[in-house]
């Protein structure tokens, strides 16, 4: 089972159109940025489940807040623009993102901005809009498959490994997620090369 394939299946033309309107970017740029963002968030989740405390926190969040029901109305979710006016944890994109990426949130947004061509604010907004979808798909998969922590970790790591075989630039994500979280990844990006980083946000 490949979680990225499942996530991509949710990214139909209507969803991409809603996303592009919300962040005020063209559809092609938005689609490319979405591809890289989904891979990044799945990689972050795979990294989190390797830490016992974060893994237990993730399992609790999935059981409590993410049963996949938000996938039934993605258009409505997109219209919220990642906002959490209803104070629902399942749709609170910023809250989900902070738990998912922790101190590396700023680093990941910078990576998205430099790789996709979107500015920093648009990149951040796109991530907050996609985060509930990622958690919704993960929660639905966990529920349907009856996964325990080991099963969840296996699917996440398997997805990342498969993506790494298909895309030779997936290692960039790991480097960014392993960065020191100081809010500036200029040196890391300079060392990777902009061409390689740009490829992360293209099919």
pLDDT tens digit at each of 203 positions of the chain:
899 999 999 998 989 999 999 999 999 999 989 998 999 999 999 988 988 888 989 998 998 889 888 888 787 777 665 454 444 777 888 889 888 887 788 888 888 888 888 999 999 999 999 999 999 999 999 999 999 999 999 999 999 998 888 766 566 777 778 765 544 555 555 455 444 445 555 54
Rg (CA), the chain: 16
Q: What pLDDT shows up at residue 114?
A: 83
Q: What pLDDT shows up at residue 180?
A: 54
Regarding pTM above 0.75, the answer is yes
Q: What pLDDT shows up at residue 196?
A: 44
Q: What pLDDT shows up at residue 193?
A: 45
Listed in sequence order, the residues at least 6 apart from 55 whose beta carbon sits closer than 8 Å to its beta carbon are: 48, 49, 149, 153
CA–CA dist 118, 33 (Å, integer):
8
| Residue-by-residue DSSP string for 1-67 | --HHHHHHHH--HHHHHHHHHHHT--HHHHHHHHHHHHHHHHHHHHHHTTSHHHHHHHHHHHHHH-S
Each domain of the chain, given as residue ranges in start order, spans 3-200
Q: What pLDDT shows up at residue 179?
A: 67
Q: What pLDDT shows up at residue 153?
A: 92
């Amino acid at each position: 089972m490949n979680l990225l394939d499942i996530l991509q299946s949710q990214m139909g033309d209507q969803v991409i159109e809603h996303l592009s309107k919300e962040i005020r970017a063209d559809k092609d740029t938005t689609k490319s940025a979405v591809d890289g963002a989904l891979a990044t968030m799945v990689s972050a989740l795979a990294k989190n489940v390797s830490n016992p405390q974060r893994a237990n926190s993730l399992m609790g969040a999935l059981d409590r807040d993410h049963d996949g029901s938000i996938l039934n109305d993605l258009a409505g979710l997109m219209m919220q623009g990642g906002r959490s006016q209803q104070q629902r944890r399942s749709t609170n994109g910023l809250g989900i993102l902070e738990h998912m990426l922790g101190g590396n949130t700023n680093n990941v947004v910078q990576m998205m901005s430099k790789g996709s061509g979107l500015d920093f604010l648009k990149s951040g907004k796109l991530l907050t809009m996609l985060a509930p979808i990622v958690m919704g798909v993960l929660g639905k998969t966990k529920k349907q498959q009856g996964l325990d922590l080991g099963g969840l970790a296996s699917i996440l790591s398997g997805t990342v490994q498969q993506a790494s075989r298909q895309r030779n630039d997936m290692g960039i994500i790991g480097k960014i997620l392993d960065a020191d979280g100081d809010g500036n990844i200029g040196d890391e990006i300079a060392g990777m090369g902009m061409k390689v980083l740009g490829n992360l946000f293209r099919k």
